[in-house]
Structure 1
Amino acid sequence: MESNYEEVYAKYFPKVYLYIFTICHDEHIAEEVTQEAFFKALKNISSFKGECKLQTWLCQIAKNTLYDFYKKENRQVSIENYSNELISDIDLIIAFEQNNQIIKVHECLHHLEEPYKEVFTLRIFAELSFKQIGELFNKTDGWARVVFYRAKKKLLEELK
């Protein structure tokens, strides 16, 4: 298990760290929370049932760890701000996996017009940054971010 854990840590730590960093915008907090999340994951690995991807499970632990961190620090964090305006990519994936809606998502995605379809696909499935997506379209990263969130909003509306 030890070498397997080291492989998991090496593979997923950067992704989980970036996820937490996008929420908190603080390198030190993101690193501390991510390390704590991996410790919790190792301690509770028996509770991982494989109902979602390992990365999704780790990100969920990390997000909960971040909220616990903020509670300890007496900081106010509004979950609604994240879920209404900037629903995170991982949260979106978690919702799809938990509801077994992957096929439905792909059907809805197929009906999206361009550039929404391509930007969403590049962001979620190719895991490209907004900067990389903007460069592909000869646009700014801000443009890519706006198009992505509009595409995500349209997909969520379609799925409801």
Structure 2
Amino acid sequence: MNFNEIYALHFRDVYRFMLALCKDRTLAEEITQETFVRAMDSFSSFKGTCKVNTWLCQIAKNLYFNILDKNKKIDYNSDTEGMVYDDLADRLADSIDSEKIHRMLHSLPEPYKEVFTLRVFAELPYAQIADLFGKHESWARVTYYRAKQKITGRLEDLS
């Protein structure tokens, strides 16, 4: 079984697990994406001593607890202004952040720039973005997530 099949088979389960754990859709999606990024990077070292689904949920759980440890003052079950995982769409509504995000977006290498643009501004689903590039949906999700992380990281560096 290749990684794209694993992603397609287990994405929903990992997302549901994270949603049940953190009770925040945005955070659950962020952690789920990061889980698959990390799993893809370390898939060759997966020993198979447990089910793939168990391994993925363990990665997700560890990511979630690492975030909680880093941000003990943040209540992820409520909408607070200080949340680390601000939705970039909300930040785009703010003209100052919008200008910064657009500048950072244009400095991103391809395919990050185009995938982010197609997802956020054209509001295309991941499957359609993947079709445009001749790739799998999991590639589109991971590429978008990485682009978003790059922009978010650069915004945090400016703050």
Higher RCO (Cα < 8 Å, 6 or more apart):
2
TM-score by length of structure 2 reads: 0.47
TM-score by length of structure 1 reads: 0.47
